[in-house]
Every structure is written in structure tokens, then in C-alpha cells.
Amino acid sequence: MRFGAFLLTLWLAFGCGGEPVIDFSGPVAGWPEWGGDKGGLHYSPLEQVHRDNVDALELAWTHRSGDFNGPSAERMPTGLQVTPIVTNGHLYYCTPYMRVFALDPETGTERWSFDPGLRAAGVGGPYPLTCRGVAYWEAEEPAAGAACQKRILYGTKDSELWALDADTGRPCADFGEGGKVALREGIEGDVPPWEYYVTSPPLVLGDRAIVGALVADQLRTDAPSGVVRAFDVKTGALLWAWDPVPPDYRADVPPGERYHRGTPNVWSLLSGDAERGLVFVPTGNPSPDSYAGERHGLDHYGSSTVALHADSGRVAWHFQTVHHDVWDYDVGTQPELFQIEGVGGGRPGVLQGTKMGHVFLLDRETGQPLYPVEERPVPTDGVPGETLSPTQPFPTHPPPLHPTELTPENVGYTFADRGSCVEALEKYRFDGIFTPPTLDGSIQYPHTTGGMNWGGIAVDPVSGVMFTNQTHIAMIVEMVAREDYEKLPADAVAYPDELYPMTGTPYGVKRSGYFSSAGAPCNPTPWGSLQAVDLKTGQVRWKVNLGTTKHQAPWPLYLIPGLGDVGAPNFGGGMVTAGGVLFLGATTDRAFRAFDTRDGSMLWETELPYQANASPLSYRLSPEGRQFVVIAAGGNAISKQGDAIMAFALPE
């Protein structure tokens, strides 16, 4: 009997089959914003799933919309880059075909869906169909029995801003015309559907929905304006517009047009500080990206973090991360708002990551760096007609986080392909980061897709540690004189190589990967990394390779130590929890992983049906409920496409 009691005690302590006993005593929390909160920290206070039990996670539910397709003659490829939000008792997300779904967060059961009837789904343009997320608004004093007292707002490929009843999914009749506002008002000229549209969710601050838009890269000097606008959440009325031209700009807008053409666009995620009434905007390049000789001063707000007054759109301050940018190093990462004791004297701050692997810590109220930023000399001898900046800003706390060295000794994935990599290194110009584009060709390192990109940086506000994944890939940029460009056939280059006209300049531009004869990246490994940086000291706490060559390199090459575990290009971001776990998908090997925040050791891994090119989220909605971790797995234009929203939790 004693032995039986002992066995019963063990069974109760460890659970049937060794499953963990779930602790229901911790906090509950939703995920009401794309980045977790309006400051975009990608942090969850939940701790039911922690470093000691995360290896027991299992798939709880999957939702499939059916909205995906690969490249075809009739339809554009899709990229599932969405991070759902969880609020109002629902999980909301949008698909690449711009449909919106509301699900039961604990079961994945569909509650309602909305289809805007996407018109711009045909082939055209360099980008896949994608919708990164939706936003939520709720009336402070809701009218009893009235519709749309809670709203979902989002933008579409058709350049429309929609407002939906968050409880039913029906369009809000009092918003614009039948629930939508046309975002092409004031965007004049012959602009095809793929050249201008919204990819990121609006920022809702008070009763304002603030939104920018993607403008296709490298096409022409008179590209659509990069204007940022605020609309009344209740009516859809335009409240203000920030046209990102310099304060003393003298060029006139053409007759009949409202905004300046060719200005820096804002395609990525915005952040907001309701207390200070500020909106934080990451800007792209003026058009086109690789030649700035025809910009005539429009660089002023390019590749910058800009703080706008939420009530008027007036500029409060701006900080430029790249001067006179000709590298397509536009700011793709959401500005992240923090206030951590021991970081910048405890001042309210803005953390801005960049494609160069530079992280700038700025004073939230003034835009001044919280730590020294050094203007260092860089090459200035680009193509004829170009006038490059003699210096570029380099942060010192933390120092640059992306490698920038290429030598004959460190290029090449294996001994067999080292020769072709050295040959290319000797053929093309490389003078380190900020090597100018040239007619003979230059190597650009980092690549235009990272370092850090729109997936964002995860910040633990309690420990003061940031966690960032990066892609480490080099590329070749060749400027093409106009007369030579005009002789090229239309199909001279196929994606992932790129050929752009840059109409209105003396040049076109060709971009391709710096790859070996075997097709592997030439730059040193790792090709993807994950690192933790102590924001108080500015020092890297740990760094690990992120991802493997599985699904990229042939079998069994990806299984060989030193050849397979070399990191992978990654598109998407991470999420850190109070349980001491960092969750991250993003990699080309289709894995979803959990890491110990103390040392970067991998605690859990599962293979997904498609790449998870999105950022995860976590929520727990009641004291009796489980903590869920959700990731969108659907790939992108150069991988297998899919449509899976996948939720993981500890076993019931």
C-alpha cells in the first residue's frame, strides 16, 4: 500500500505520461497591437510557459484561410507575414488576399470573416501579396446598441483603408464610403496598383488611424509621394497629412496635385506615445534608391526616425540613420519605445534598429542620441553626377552588430567554391560598409534585406536586454549607363536577381547575390544570427547561429557539422516572455524555435509546414486558461507558399 501511494504521488507530481503540471497562478494578458503594445517591444509578461517546461509545447490548433498561391501567369505569389492581434475576446488577422478573420483564440474556431473583394491581385510588380496586420479601436463612451463601437482597421493592396465592426466583421457604414477610404486621393499620375499600397497596419492613437504606404523601389524619380496621413477613426475624414519634404523646400507641387513626388515613403510599422502625443515614423529612401543625384534635397527625412505630433502631423524631431542613402538602407524596423532604469539615465527612449545592424538609442522627447554617435569617414567616389556624404553615423552603445569584413581568406562556403568567391571579390569593388554603387560593380555588405528588417527587435523591459535576429548576406550592385540599359531585353534578369530602370536618372541598376559558382553565399558564415545585447552596458551577452541550410542545401550536406549549422537568411522577428523564453521562426529551414534568454541555448524546436516569415505573439485570456504562442507559417515569394496560423500550448 505504501508503494502504491508512492506511485500515486509520483503520478500526481509529474502528470500522466510525464506531461508538465500547468501553473494557473500567473498573470493574464492579450496581444492588442502588432508588436504587443504601441511601443512595439515584442514582449509578453506571461510566464506559464517558461524555460523549464517549454519543451512540452504541442500544437493546439491551426487555422487555414486558403489564401495563398505560388508564382503563376495569372496570380501574384503570396507572403504570409502577418502577426495577429488578440483583443476584445477575438484573435484577428488578415491574409495576403486582404481578407480579415476573427477566431476564437483558444480553439481557432472561425467567428467571422470579411472579404473586401481584392481587385489588384494580378501579376505585376516585384513584391508578393502580403498584409502584415490589423489594428483595433474601441470607443471610450460606447453608444448602447450601436454598431462599430469597436473597430478593426487595416489597409489593402487596393490602397483602401477599411473599418469593420470588431464583433461582426461588417463594414462601418459611417466610415468613408461604405466602410472604406480611398488612399489614392492626392496620389496623382499613372500609378499601377503594385507601385503604391499599404502593407503594414495603421497606428491607432486616440481617435486617429495613422498610415503610410509602400512605394515600389528603383522605378523613377517622380514616384508617388511618401505622405503619412491621419484619418478620423469614426468618420474616415482626413485629419492631417505629413508630406516628408525639407522645411525649406522650394519646389512646387505640380498643378492639380496635393503632395510632392519622390519623397521618402513609410512602408513599415509606426509606434505611438499617447501620453506625449507623439507618433514615431521609420522612413525609406527618396526615389529611386541607388542614385541620389536627382533628389535635389529630398534626402532630409530619408532613412530616418521621425517623431510627429499626433494632433497635427508637425515634425517634433528627426534622426537620420544614413545620410544621402544610395544603398537602400531604408529604416524597416519599427521604432521601439522603452524606459529602463540604467539605460540612458532612465530617460524615455526610442530604440531604432537598421538594415546595417546599427542600433540607435534616442531620447524620446528630443531625438538626441542617449549615447555617443560618431560621424566616421566613408568613401565618396561614386558614379558621375553623384555627391555622397563624406561621413556616416555609427553608434557606439551598442556598437555595430553586423560583420562588415570580406577578405580572400574568409569568403567561400567550402574549399570547392572559394575560388569563385575570391574571383568576384577581386573583380568588384569593396571598401567596407557604405561602398558606393559603381559602373564596374560594387559589393554591398550588409544586404538590403538585413541586418535587421521589419520583423523587429524583442526587448525585455525588466532585464534591459534586447534580442535581435539578423540576416548576413552580401550582394553585388552594378550601375548601368542609360544608353546601355535601354539595349537590355525585358527578360534580361530574373528574380531573385533584380534590374530596375530608375527613370529620370542617367542610370539603371542591376542587383544580384554575391554567390559562389555552387550557388552558396560567398560572405562568411553565419548567414543568420541571434544575439542578446545588454542595453545598460551596450555589450553583447551572447550570440548564436540562427537556422540551418535544411531545405536550401542538398541532403546530406545540411546535416554535416560546420556546413549545415551555419545560420540561415531569416525574415520575421522574435518575441520574448517573462518566462525567460525567446520565440522565433523566420528562418529558411521552416523551424519554430524557443531559446533560453540567459545564454541562447535552444530549448525547443518544431518544423513547420512552411517558413514562418512573421513575428510570433502570446496570450492567456483567463486565470483558468492556457498560455498560447501563435505564429503565421506561409512562406514568401521565393519559398513554398502556405496559409497556416498555428497555435502552441502546454498539454491540457
Contact of 318 with 305, CB cutoff 8 Å: yes
Report how far residue 451's alpha carbon sits from residue 321's, in angstroms, rounded to the nearest whole number: 14
Q: In 378-514, which ranges are continuous DSSP H helix?
A: 415-427, 482-485
Residue 528: in which H helix or E strand, if any?
strand 528-534
Q: For 210-268, what is each residue's pLDDT tens digit?
A: 999 999 999 999 999 999 999 999 999 999 999 999 998 877 787 778 999 999 999 99
Q: How sure is the predictor about 616, in pLDDT bands with cuts at 50, 70 and 90? A: very high
Average pLDDT over residues 434-462: 96
Report how far residue 5's alpha carbon sits from residue 218's, in angstroms, rounded to the nearest whole number: 74
Does position 13 have pLDDT exceeding 60, yes or no?
Answer: no
In a domain, 210, yes or no: yes
Look over the chain and give the mean of its residue pLDDT values, rounded to a whole number.
Answer: 93
Does position 513 have pLDDT exceeding 70, yes or no?
Answer: yes
Angle at 69 between CA 66 and CA 71, to 5 degrees: 175
Query: Among residues 342, 321, 261, 267, which one has the least CA distance to residue 296?
Result: 261
Q: For 514-543, what is each residue's pLDDT tens digit?
A: 999 999 999 999 999 999 999 999 999 999
Per-residue HEC secondary structure of 442-476 comes to EEECCECCECCCCCCCEEECCCCEEEEEEECCCEE
Catalytic center residues: 328
In a domain, 86, yes or no: yes
Task: In the chain, count H helices and then E strands.
Answer: 3, 40
Count CA within 13 A, CB hemisphere, residue 579: 27
In a domain, 225, yes or no: yes
Task: Write the DSSP symbol of residue 423.
Answer: H
Quote the domain boundaries for residue 543.
19-649
Cis ω before 288 (30° cut-off from 0): yes
Q: How sure is the predictor about 9, in pLDDT bands with cuts at 50, 70 and 90? A: very low
Q: How sure is the predictor about 18, in pLDDT bands with cuts at 50, 70 and 90? A: low
Q: Residue 562's pLDDT is what? A: 80
In a domain, 10, yes or no: no
Q: How are the residues of the chain apportioned to helix, strand and coil, as percentages rounded to the nearest 5? A: 5, 30, 60
List the CATH number of the domain containing 541: 2.140.10.10
In a domain, 7, yes or no: no
Average pLDDT over residues 359-379: 98
In a domain, 112, yes or no: yes
3-state SS, residue 344? helix
Report how far residue 446's alpha carbon sits from residue 471's, in angstroms, rounded to the nearest whole number: 8
Report how far residue 398's alpha carbon sits from residue 149's, in angstroms, rounded to the nearest whole number: 44
How far does CA 604 lie from the centroid of its chain? 24
In a domain, 532, yes or no: yes
In a domain, 13, yes or no: no
Q: For 184-223, what is each residue's pLDDT tens digit?
A: 998 877 889 999 999 999 999 999 999 999 999 999 999 9
Q: In degrees to the nearest 10, what's the CA dihedral of 131, 512, 475, 326?
A: -70
Q: In 311-435, which ranges are continuous DSSP H helix?
A: 415-427
Q: Residue 490 burial by CB count (10 A; 0-12/13-18/19+): exposed, middle or buried? A: exposed
End-to-end CA distance of the chain: 30
Does position 12 have pLDDT exceeding 50, yes or no?
Answer: no
Contact of 262 with 298, CB cutoff 8 Å: yes
Mean pLDDT lowest for which of 62-71, 527-536, 569-578?
62-71
Average pLDDT over residues 157-175: 97
Average pLDDT over residues 443-456: 94
Query: Structural domain tally of the chain?
Result: 1
Q: Phi first, then psi: what are they for 506, rounded to 5°?
A: -75, 5
Report how far residue 199's alpha carbon sits from residue 201's, in angstroms, rounded to the nearest whole number: 7
3-state SS, residue 129? strand
Q: Residue 209's pLDDT is what? A: 98
